[in-house]
Amino acid sequence: MNDSSGRPQPLDFEKPIAELEGELEDMREKACSQEIDLSAEIAALEVKLAEVRNRIYENLTPWQRVQIARHISRPFMLDYLNEAFDDFCELHGDRLVGDDQAMPGGFALLDGRRCVVIGHQKGRDTKENLERNFGSAHPEGYRKALRLMKLAEKFRIPVVSLIDTPGAFPGIGAEERNIAEAIARNLREMMSLRTPIVVAVIGEGGSGGALGVGVADRILMLENAYYSVISPEGCAAILWKHRKHAPEAAKAMKLTAEDLVGMSLIDEVVPEPTGGAHHDVRSATGNLKAALVSHIDELEALSEEEMLNARYEKFRRAGQWAE
Per residue, the 3-state secondary structure of 76-112, as one string, reads: CHHHHHHHHCEEEEECCCCCCCCCCCCCCEEEEEECC
What is the spatial distance between Cα 161 and Cα 219, in angstroms, rounded to a whole number? 9
List, for residues 195-251, the tens digit of each pLDDT value: 999 999 999 999 899 999 999 999 999 999 999 999 999 999 999 999 999 999 999
pLDDT for residue 60 is more than 70 = yes
To the nearest whole number, what is the mean pLDDT of the chain?
A: 93
CA 50 to chain centre: 27
Query: Is there a single domain that holds both residue 48 and residue 100?
Result: no
Read off the amino acid at residue 39.
Answer: S
> Is 218 a domain residue?
yes
Query: Is there a single domain that holds both residue 22 and residue 163?
Result: no
What residue numbers bound the domain in which 45 lies?
12-59
Q: What average pLDDT does the segment 100-118 reach?
A: 97
Q: Where are the beta strands (DSSP E) in the chain?
A: 86-90, 105-110, 113-119, 159-165, 197-206, 218-222, 226-228, 268-270
Query: Is there a single domain that holds both residue 26 and residue 129?
Result: no
| Domain CATH code at residue 210 | 3.90.226.10
Number of independent structural domains in the chain: 2
- 267 secondary structure, DSSP code: S
pLDDT band at 79 (very low <50, low <70, confident <90, very high): very high
Query: Is there a single domain that holds both residue 112 and residue 39?
Result: no
Predicted local distance difference test score (pLDDT) of residue 5: 55
Predicted local distance difference test score (pLDDT) of residue 91: 97
pLDDT band at 40 (very low <50, low <70, confident <90, very high): confident
Query: Is there a single domain that holds both residue 198 and residue 260?
Result: yes
Query: Is there a single domain that holds both residue 50 and residue 150?
Result: no
Query: Is there a single domain that holds both residue 40 and residue 151?
Result: no
Predicted local distance difference test score (pLDDT) of residue 175: 95
List, for residues 274-300, the tens digit of each pLDDT value: 999 999 999 999 999 999 999 999 999
CA of 71: how far to CAs of 29, 175, 314, in Å? 29, 29, 31
pLDDT for residue 96 is more than 80 = yes
pLDDT band at 3 (very low <50, low <70, confident <90, very high): low
Query: Is there a single domain that holds both residue 198 and residue 282?
Result: yes
